[in-house]
Amino acid sequence: MSDWRHGAVIYQIYPRSFCDANGDGIGDLKGVLEKLAYVAELGVDGVWLSPFFASPMKDYGYDVLDYRAVDPLFGAMSDFDAVVSEAHRLGLKIIIDQVYSHTSDAHAWFTESRKDRVNAKADWYVWADAKPDGSPPNNWQALFGGPSWEWDARRRQYYLHNFLREQPDLNVRNLEVQEALLETARFWLDRGVDGFRLDVANFYIQDARLRDNPARDVRGTPKRPHEFQHHVHDRSQPETLAFMERLRTLLDAYPDRFSVGEIEDEDALARQLEYCAGGNRLHSAYSFYLLRARALTPDLIRSAHAGWDDAWPGWSFSNHDVPRAATRLAGDDCLRAQQAVALLLCLRGVIFLYQGEELGLPQADVPFERLRDPEAIQFWPHGIGRDGARTPMPWTADGGFSENAETWLPMDPRHLTLNASGQQADPTSTLSLTRRLLRIRREIAALRTGGFSDAGSTETLLAFRRTVDDQTVLCVFNLSDSADTLAVPASSGLRMERLTGEARLEGQALQLGPWSSALLI
């Protein structure tokens, strides 16, 4: 029996922006429930729900106040249970975020930890004394700006925060903290979730000696202080891998559960591989190797697949943290955006499809006065564009996201013309293409679980084979604005499946128009 986790396609839902069922302008769990049938009809294997936990929302749910509570903004625990039940009825798995690197500074654990240096949770966060001159313990820089250390007057010490100062880092070296996190995981597993997406999975443990990070030779104009360092001491410590193995042991006690880690590091692919190595760590991991790419090239795709013969990578072109692929990789061109979706769904690994990607949504334009993301405001106009990737989902020509005219982020007018309802019956739409591609991926075993090997790629023509047992599929993508031809080997019964653009097979020549793609089966 095949393992559903191998080659699965997971649809990411950002609950704040998916569907608003109670009319307050913010998406919620009842809205997710209302739209689960749409997700199931796409043909994906499961859903990844971004955070819906109790939170002050300084970082929109990634600052957790209570790991085991639903924030009232999203509904109640009964609403979450209903989502899980309905998803399972529809044949969908439910993957939820777990944020184990840090909590909110309003979390009860931190409230106790900061009281003094001798309380029961005094060592549950990363605390350190000031240097003799009163400055922070080392030179580490937070991703969201400024030093990674914040002075606390109660303890007269600094605490570590890799992101906002309202997100103190847990001391995951502490075995009591590990046990508390494993109990949190067990709580949700017992509630029926099928697995976890682990936020910044390689940030859990830092260098025990808190050594300075070495300086980095910055080329061009840096956008933030964080870029001036090689981050060798504030993340990716070997002790984190031991905790991953403990978490995997827990997951393995439940049938068919899944774990995927978000990896953020300079050598993204090597670290991604490390966290999946040995079969006793993560089931899959994804990095920002493809998420930060500014263009699709054969070299990019080939290099991404190197070394993964014995493990399952995770790949995504879009998510809630980066500009949407239709803009970043396709320049807001519909044909190129469709080709990007086609390529994503032909890759070997676990695929993450971000809400609206199946509609070809471009990055939304959010004016400064409507920005909500603290990173975007801090680094304007050079932020990473998270608000523009988080705007409400367009269900109908007039929006369909909420009955409230005022939504938490504005809806881009361009998105309204790409609404889901309008694309449903259009056979040329990105939505129709996505459904067809997902059906093909399910029906052809080689596309779901087969290996990956290059098949004569050039500088602009990407050709690779996906092979399992005696079945092979040749995937070909013309990643340029000029027509191209690929010579293909003679094969009896060779059939072409056009994916995007203009493609035809004449004898042993596959002819592809600009930004076209096809499968040879």
| Angle value at C-alpha 484, between 482 and 488, nearest 5 degrees | 165
- Beta strand 66-70 pairing with 157-160: unpaired
Number of neighbouring beta carbons within 10 Å of residue 303 = 12
Query: Cα separation of 15 and 265, whole Å?
Result: 27
Per DSSP (E only), the strands in 169-214 are 195-198
- Token pair listed for 471: 């079945």
Which DSSP category does 52 fall into? -
- Residue 378's φ and ψ, nearest 5 degrees, are -60, -40
Query: Cα separation of 32 and 240, whole Å?
Result: 33
Catalytic residue check, 97: no
Catalytic residue check, 116: no
Per DSSP (E only), the strands in 77-121 are 93-98
Taking alpha carbons only, the member of 4, 104, 1 closest to residue 44 is: 4
CB-based contacts of 171, cutoff 8 Å, min separation 6: 123, 124, 125, 126, 127, 177
Query: Cα separation of 174 and 334, whole Å?
Result: 50
Taking alpha carbons only, the member of 353, 198, 343, 183 closest to residue 276 is: 198
Catalytic, out of 45, 59, 105, 199: 199
Q: Does a cis peptide bond (omega within 30 degrees of 0) precede residue 381?
A: yes
Q: Residue 119: what residue type?
A: N
Query: Cα separation of 315 and 286, whole Å?
Result: 6
Q: Is 313:474 a contact under the CB 8 Å cutoff? A: no
Catalytic, out of 105, 262, 274, 375: 262
Q: Is 190:128 a contact under the CB 8 Å cutoff? A: no
Number of neighbouring beta carbons within 10 Å of residue 254 = 15
Taking alpha carbons only, the member of 101, 110, 94, 103 closest to residue 67 is: 103
Bin 156: left if φ > 0, else alpha if -120 < ψ < 50, else beta.
left
**Residue 160, strand partner residues:** 149
Query: Cα separation of 408 and 27, whole Å?
Result: 9
Query: Cα separation of 335 and 381, whole Å?
Result: 29
Q: Which residues are catalytic, by number?
A: 199, 262
